Amino acid sequence: MSPAEELATCQAALAGALGEAPTVGGAAPDPAGAAAPAGDAWLEVPAARWREACRAARDLPELGFDFLRSLAGVDRPEAGRIDVVAHLFSYRHRRALVLRTSLERAAPELDSVAQVWPAADWHERELWDLLGVRLRGHPDLRRLLLPEDWPGHPLRKDWQEPAEYRGIPTRREARATAGELAKQTYLAPRGLGRDPAGGQPDGGGGA
C-alpha cells in the first residue's frame, strides 16, 4: 500500500467510526502512489471527538494503532490555537499515522487518552507542564519536568522568564561584577611550567 492509500484507508475508517471524515492536512501525499513517504500528512479531528478518534484508531481492526509514539503540542499564537499532535504506529499493519487536533489558546482543554494508551500519561503531563493544556480525566495531572511552583508554561511563545526563582537569579550577568571577577585567581599546578598568579588569598568557597 502506498502512503497515500494508507492515509485514505485510515481516513475512511475513522470517518466510519466518528461519523464525519477527518480532514487531511500537511503535505498532501503523492496521488501517483510513489513509494516515498508522504511526509508530514496528518488527519485532523475536532477536539470534542479526540478520545473517540483515538479509541477508534486503537481498536478498529483495519487501523490497529496500538502504539503511541509521541503526544506533543504546538503553540500557534498567531492563529490563537494550540495544536495537539499524536504520532501513532500499528504493529499489525506496519504503518504510522499522525492525528492532530486544535484547541482554543485562551483555555486549552482536551480529553485525556491515558486510558487508551498508558504512554500518554506522561506525555499529557508534559503538555500541561510546558503548554498549559488541561487534560480532562487524567489520573494524575501535575507538572512533570519543572518544579511544582514554577510560574507559567515555558513552551508558550509569550512566556516571560522571571528574574529569579526562589532566590536563585535566572541570569548570570547579575553576579559578574568587576570585583568578583578580580577575586577569582587561576593557579597552575606546580611543576607544570606555568607561572602561578601570585600568592593572593582566595575568593569564594573554602569552608
Partner 1 sequence: MGFDLGMVLGFLVVSGVALLALLLLGKLLRPHRPEASKRVTYECGEPAVGPAWFNFNNRFYVIALVFVVFDVEVALVVPVAVVFREAVAAGAGLLAFTEMFLFLAVLLVALVYVWARGDLTWVRALTAGECREVEVGPRSPAP
Partner 2 sequence: MSAAGDRPIIEAGPEGGFALGPLDGLLNLARKHSLWYLLFGTACCAIELMQTGGPRADADRFGFLFRPTPRQADVLILAGTITYRMASRIRRLHEQMAEPRYVIAMGSCANTGGLFQGSYSVVKGGDLIVPVDVYIPGCPPRPEALLEGLMLLQQKVEREPYLRKIRGELPLPADPWPAGKECKE
Number of residues lying near partner 1 (CB under 8 A): 8
| Cell 508530514 found at | 40
User: Of these partners, partner 2, partner 1, none, which one is at the site of residue 117 (CB under 5 to 8 Å by kind)?
Assistant: partner 1
Query: Distance (Å, rounded) from C-alpha 111 to C-alpha 103?
Result: 11
**How many Å from the N-terminal Cα to the C-terminal Cα in the chain?**
69
Q: Is 148 in the site for partner 2 (CB under 8 A)?
A: yes
- Binds partner 2 (CB under 8 A): choice among 175, 179, 193, 198: 175
User: Applying CB under 8 A, which part among 5-13, 40-48, 93-101, 143-151 lies near partner 2?
Assistant: 143-151
SS3 125: helix
Q: Is 91 in the site for partner 1 (CB under 8 A)?
A: no
Of the pair 11, 115, the CB lying nearest partner 1 is at 115
Burial environment of residue 78 by CB neighbours within 10 A (0 to 12, 13 to 18, 19 or more): exposed
CB 9 within 8 A of CB 17: no
Please name every residue paired with 85 in a beta bridge, in sequence order, or none if there are none: 72, 100
SS3 87: strand
- Binds partner 2 (CB under 8 A): choice among 61, 142, 157, 167: 167
User: Of these partners, partner 2, partner 1, none, which one is at the site of residue 193 (CB under 5 to 8 Å by kind)?
Assistant: none
Binding residues (CB under 8 A) for partner 2: these are 145-148, 150, 154, 159, 161, 165-172, 175, 184, 187, 189-190, 199, 202, 204-207
